[in-house]
């Protein structure tokens, strides 16, 4: 099949899944903005999502997108390394027009996946999974209900270690997406001499604003409120 057997097809899959994941992050950022202004409003959103069938179905779909994106990233990286052969071991300067993020997309992707695993443990495991498997009670002390998303955010970012890890994760996502944003549109053919520069500028602004929302939420709860650090693991 063209989409899976050709290099262009694999890049198309990477581009489409990448754009879909950016759209999800946009929704997530908008949801997090609510937490900056209203605990009740944020928890209402969490209750509307929760472990409802549509939220579970969306989670499965999201997992498929992440899996496809990561697997094809590895395939394309190995393919590129094989094409370069022994020349990849040669000591050369980085080409002036090649971005650092472009040369390190796999490394950034691995950091993103590790951060995602931490995020799933802190939130999905203690919220959606807790609703499905633990009668709505989270697996951590300090939060009484799995639908108390506001309390879960406050509890997580009351731990300095978690806050630092999340900031590193956000920076890695920023690097990954500022390159991936324009690259996806270029792969899909929505570029030219004029639009190439425009997509780069749009991507830089869009992704920066998006990730700043996540950073602001993390720092707000780290410095301005929420539960004390008693819920943090021993490392804190």
Neighbours of 37 (CB within 10 A): 8
pTM of the model: 0.84
Domain extent for 149: 2-85+97-231
Q: How far apart are CA 25 and CA 23, in angstroms?
A: 5
Residue 146's SS3 state is coil
pLDDT at 114: 95
> Does 164 reside within a domain?
yes
> Does 111 reside within a domain?
yes
**Lowest mean pLDDT, pick from 165-169, 216-220, 231-235:** 231-235
C-alpha 34: how far from chain center:
19
> Does 136 reside within a domain?
yes
> Does 12 reside within a domain?
yes
Each residue of 35-59: pLDDT tens digit?
999 999 999 999 888 878 899 999 9
User: What is the domain count for the chain?
Assistant: 1
User: At 120, which CATH number?
Assistant: 1.20.1300.10
> Does 92 reside within a domain?
no
What band does 225 get if pLDDT is binned at 50, 70 and 90? low
> Does 90 reside within a domain?
no
> Does 213 reside within a domain?
yes
């Amino acid at each position: 099949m063209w989409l899976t057997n050709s290099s262009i097809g694999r890049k198309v899959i990477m581009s489409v899944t990448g754009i879909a994941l950016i759209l999800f992050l946009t929704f997530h950022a908008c949801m997090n903005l609510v937490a900056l202004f209203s605990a009740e409003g944020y928890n209402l959103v969490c209750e509307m999502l929760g472990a409802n069938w549509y939220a579970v179905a969306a989670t499965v779909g999201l997992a498929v997108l992440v899996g496809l994106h990561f697997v094809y990233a590895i395939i394309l990286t190995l393919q590129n390394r094989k094409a370069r052969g022994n020349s990849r071991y040669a000591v050369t300067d980085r080409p002036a027009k090649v971005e650092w993020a472009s040369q390190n997309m796999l490394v950034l992707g691995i950091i993103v996946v590790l951060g995602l695993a931490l995020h799933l443990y802190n939130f999905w495991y203690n919220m959606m999974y807790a609703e499905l498997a633990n009668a709505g009670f989270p697996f951590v002390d300090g939060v009484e209900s799995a639908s108390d998303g506001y309390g879960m955010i406050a509890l997580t970012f009351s731990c300095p270690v978690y806050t630092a890890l999340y900031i590193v994760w956000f920076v890695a996502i920023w690097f990954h997406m500022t390159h991936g944003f324009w690259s996806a549109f270029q792969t899909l053919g929505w570029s030219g001499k004029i639009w190439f520069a425009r997509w780069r500028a749009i991507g830089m602004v869009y992704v920066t604003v998006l990730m700043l929302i996540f950073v602001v939420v993390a720092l707000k709860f780290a410095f301005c409120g929420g539960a004390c650090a008693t819920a943090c693991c021993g490392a804190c």
